[in-house]
Amino acid sequence: MEGVVTLAAHVAYHGAPFAGFARQPGQKTVQGELERALATVFREEVLTTCAGRTDAGVHARGQVVSFDVAEVLVRDRTPESLRRSLNALTDEAVVVRSVERTRPGFSARFDAQAREYRYFIATGDTPPLFMREFSWFVSRPLDVDAMRRGAAYLIGEHDFKSFCTAASAVGKPTCRFVESIDFAAQEVMGEPVLVMTIVGNAFLHSMVRTIMGTLMMVGRGLREPAWVERVLDAKQRCAAGENAPAQGLVFWAVRY
């Protein structure tokens, strides 16, 4: 569009203070914070599009947000100065890592090829201190090999209706492609964690948390790995495990 510039911001946030990413009337949200800051900077309403909406309490390391502004409004602004302004105006739980000018019409959502989430499980003998706000504490041993075998049923393109909030699936397509699910043991500031990394083209509402909760039942020995396939085939939310706690989930990266 002539006279319009498309910008992309790379954003990280601590999810605890927010009712999710998407703007909601009367609620504190990440999108609301960003659009309020942009409106202050440019003195007009600026609407944003994100790579992936996160639920209440979910964190982000690599969220991407795109928006259009009139070229005249950025003529005297560098991406660096805009980044500094946005960080000064947004909630302290939000950090704008960078702002860059991108091709006209770029959409953080529709141009994304794959999204990566990571879920952190604290596995030590005692509750975590440094990872307390970023993990699900599980004190009992987990059968990680069984979790891997269960996760294998989810790789590829499937109808993930069993793995999303039931209300969000009404009248909407629920097929998604999961590229990979991996588990790795790590140590963060001396605290042992098990990290599930999941990559897919897109994810349904609460899909990653439901997958994690389902695989946790396998890891605890409450279900065998093949049960995951039956959950997938059921296409009913009640067939799957609980939603894993929001604080363990991080929107890690986007691939364009």
In the chain, what are the domain boundaries? 4-102, 114-255
pLDDT tens digit sequence for 164-177: 986 766 778 999 99
Pairing of strands 4-13, 114-122: unpaired
Going by pLDDT thresholds of 50, 70 and 90, the confidence category of residue 76 is confident
Q: How far apart (Å, rounded) are the C-alpha atoms in residues 130 and 247?
A: 13
Average pLDDT over residues 231-243: 96
Q: How far apart (Å, rounded) are the C-alpha atoms in residues 229 and 163?
A: 12
Neighbours of 36 (CB within 10 A): 15
Eight-class DSSP state of 242: P
Catalytic residue (choose from 55, 91, 111, 182)? 55
Going by pLDDT thresholds of 50, 70 and 90, the confidence category of residue 40 is very high
3-state DSSP call for residue 74? helix
Q: Look at the domain 4-102 and name its fold.
A: Alpha-Beta Plaits (3.30.70)
Q: Which of 16-20, 165-169, 221-225 has the lowest mean pLDDT?
A: 165-169
111 contact partners, CB below 8 Å, separation of at least 6:
256
Average pLDDT, the chain: 95
Which is more confidently placed, 158 or 2? 158
What is residue 139's predicted lDDT score, i.e. its pLDDT?
86
Percent of the chain exceeding pLDDT 90 equals: 94
Clarify whether 145 is annotated catalytic.
no
Pairing of strands 114-122, 136-137: parallel
What is residue 172's predicted lDDT score, i.e. its pLDDT?
83
Going by pLDDT thresholds of 50, 70 and 90, the confidence category of residue 34 is very high
Average pLDDT over residues 42-69: 97
What is residue 23's predicted lDDT score, i.e. its pLDDT?
94
242 has pLDDT over 60: yes
Tell me if 153 is assigned to a ligand binding site: no
Is-contact 203 52, C-beta < 8 A?
A: yes
Q: Look at the domain 114-255 and name its fold.
A: Alpha-Beta Plaits (3.30.70)
Average pLDDT over residues 62-68: 98
What is residue 140's predicted lDDT score, i.e. its pLDDT?
84
Flag whether the pTM goes above 0.85. yes
Q: How far apart (Å, rounded) are the C-alpha atoms in residues 20 and 226?
A: 33
Burial 207-230, CB ≥16 within 10 A → b, else e: bbbbbbbbbbbbbbeebebebbee
Nearest to 24 by CA among 32, 16, 36: 32
What is residue 136's predicted lDDT score, i.e. its pLDDT?
98
Burial 191-206, CB ≥16 within 10 A → b, else e: bebbbbebbbebbbbb
- Examine domains 4-102 and 114-255 and report if their fold is the same: yes
Going by pLDDT thresholds of 50, 70 and 90, the confidence category of residue 2 is low
The region that residue 170 occupies, defined by phi over 0 for left and psi between -120 and 50 for alpha, beta otherwise, is: beta
